[in-house]
Amino acid sequence: MPSSPAPPLRCPLCGRQLTLHTLTGEGSRPSVVCGAGHSFDAARQGYYNLLVGKGTVFEADSADMVAARFNFLDAGHYRPLADAVSDAVLARVRPGTPFTVLDSGTGTGHYLRVVLDAVRGVSDDVTAIALDISKFALRRAARLNPEAFNLACDVWQPLPVAEAAVDVVTVIFAPRNAAEFARVLHHDGRLVVVTPRPGHLASLAAKAGMLAIEDQKDARLAESLAGFFVQESTRDVDIRLMLTPRERADLAFMGPAGHHLDRDALAAKLDTPETASEVEALFRITVFRPGGRPG
Ligand SMILES: C[S@@+](CC[C@H](N)C(=O)[O-])C[C@H]1O[C@@H](n2cnc3c(N)ncnc32)[C@H](O)[C@@H]1O
Ligand SMILES: [Zn+2]
């Protein structure tokens, strides 16, 4: 049974190092195994289920919400944002030096795909770890990024990742566990966070009954990371989208509104002549470095 050099992963049950075992027999699947014998097989779709215990009570994105996000992102509408995230990550890659990136709340994996394609041009020794609590999302992510360790886990629990093992953590519209991100990043690592800015998708939000973006988001972001991270830089990315009714419905449904709105009702609401087909997406990419003292 060949096993690769140990990836920077830790057993969610006992904290020991996990080793990757790739079996070659027909029908056999890879697994990650710790020294105490805890073993986690890859699902048929390629991700590892490292969810243990009860975890956080959480309304996971449904298969339909994930499908809407997949369709929308796959059409490339947010590609300028993905490129800007990838620029922020690339700034930390040194030619010929091993590089580890962790995408927390990876969703369908579209942003990580763009990042990995860019990083590959600079370093050929790249380890990618993608975390999400939604198995529907991870199925898509594992297909798009088969070279990554796609892990089902709860970011509010200790992450199944070794200390100081990661060069860059990316968090794109996903929850932020500052203490755990600080633990897994090495001292010169970076945290790259994407958040929406006030006015993001405003014309769509008004029609679809989506939540408006609060003005205080920046302050809240800094506050949520205080004691673990210091803000280093910001970059705003604005994207003017021209969308068909179907694309508008996907965009509305892939966000938090998808949890409480019906897809067909949403599509009907957005398919009226007076609905503007131009929608503005307003993002901020903030780069943080580890620093500050936990309060
Ligand atoms: C709005 S989506 C963003 C997905 C992706 N980053 C993107 O921008 O397309 C938020 C993601 O965070 C994941 N998520 C939410 N809470 C989580 C938790 N406690 N642990 C792990 N993932 C979580 C969701 O399943 C979802 O895929
Ligand atoms: Zn173990």
Instruction: Tell whether 209 and 171 lie within a shared domain.
Output: yes
In a domain, 78, yes or no: yes
d(CA 135, CA 45): 10
Instruction: Tell whether 33 and 114 lie within a shared domain.
Output: no
In a domain, 156, yes or no: yes
Instruction: Tell whether 32 and 121 lie within a shared domain.
Output: no
In a domain, 286, yes or no: yes
Report the DSSP beta bridge partners of residue 237: 283
Instruction: Tell whether 222 and 282 lie within a shared domain.
Output: yes
CATH number at residue 195: 3.40.50.150
Residue nearest to atom 12 of ligand 1 (CA): 105
Who wins on pLDDT, 258 or 227? 227
Residue nearest to atom 25 of ligand 1 (CA): 134
Phi-psi region of 126 (alpha: psi -120 to 50; beta: other; left: phi over 0): beta
Judge whether 103 and 133 are in contact, CB under 8 Å.
no
d(CA 294, CA 33): 33
Q: Is the pLDDT of residue 204 over 90?
A: no
- From the alpha carbon of 137, which atom of ligand 1 is closest? 27
- Ligand 1 center from residue 105 Cα (angstroms): 4
Q: Give the three-class secondary structure for 18.
A: strand
Mean pLDDT of 43-53: 92
Pocket probe for ligand 1: among 58, 70, 133, the residue whose CB has the most ligand atoms within 8 Å is: 133
Q: Which domain holds residue 150?
A: 46-290
Residue with tokens 């600080």: 182
Instruction: Tell whether 94 and 15 lie within a shared domain.
Output: no
Q: Is the pLDDT of residue 56 over 80?
A: no
Q: Is the pLDDT of residue 57 over 80?
A: no
The one-character DSSP state at 20 is E
- Ligand 1 center from residue 174 Cα (angstroms): 5
Ligand 1 pocket residues where CB is under 6 Å: 56, 58, 60-61, 69, 73, 105-108, 110-111, 131-134, 137, 154-156, 172-175
Residue % of the chain over a pLDDT of 90: 70
Residue nearest to atom 4 of ligand 1 (CA): 107
Pocket probe for ligand 1: among 81, 101, 170, 173, the residue whose CB has the most ligand atoms within 8 Å is: 173
Mean pLDDT of 109-137: 96
* pLDDT value of residue 246: 86
Which run of H or of E encompasses 285?
Answer: strand 278-290
Instruction: Tell whether 151 and 122 lie within a shared domain.
Output: yes
In a domain, 210, yes or no: yes
- Ligand 1 center from residue 192 Cα (angstroms): 15
Q: What angle do CA 56, 59, 63 make, to 5 degrees?
A: 130
Instruction: Tell whether 71 and 26 lie within a shared domain.
Output: no
Mean pLDDT of 192-219: 82
Instruction: Tell whether 29 and 116 lie within a shared domain.
Output: no
Provide the domain count of the chain. Answer: 2
Look at 48-57, 61-70, 211-220, 247-256 and tell me which has the smallest mean pLDDT.
211-220
Instruction: Tell whether 92 and 38 lie within a shared domain.
Output: no
pTM of the complete model: 0.93
CB atoms within 10 A of CB 23: 14
Which run of H or of E encompasses 218?
Answer: helix 217-225
Taking only the tens place, the pLDDT of each residue in 118-128 is 999 999 999 99
Burial 192-214 (b: 16+ CB within 10 A, else e): bbbbbbeebbbebbebbebeebe
Instruction: Tell whether 36 and 157 lie within a shared domain.
Output: no
Q: Is the pLDDT of residue 2 over 50?
A: no
In a domain, 258, yes or no: yes
d(CA 2, CA 21): 6
Amino acid letter for position 221: L
* pLDDT value of residue 77: 96
In a domain, 51, yes or no: yes
- From the alpha carbon of 256, which atom of ligand 1 is closest? 1
Question: How sure is the predictor about 46, in pLDDT bands with cuts at 50, 70 and 90?
Answer: very high
In a domain, 90, yes or no: yes
Instruction: Tell whether 32 and 51 lie within a shared domain.
Output: no
* pLDDT value of residue 210: 74
Instruction: Tell whether 144 and 24 lie within a shared domain.
Output: no
Q: Is the pLDDT of residue 23 over 80?
A: no
Arithmetic mean of pLDDT over the chain: 90
Question: How sure is the predictor about 232, in pLDDT bands with cuts at 50, 70 and 90?
Answer: very high
- From the alpha carbon of 108, which atom of ligand 1 is closest? 9
- Ligand 1 center from residue 107 Cα (angstroms): 5
Cα end-to-end span (Å), the chain:
47
In a domain, 295, yes or no: no
Taking only the tens place, the pLDDT of each residue in 260-295 is 778 787 777 777 666 658 899 999 999 999 998 654
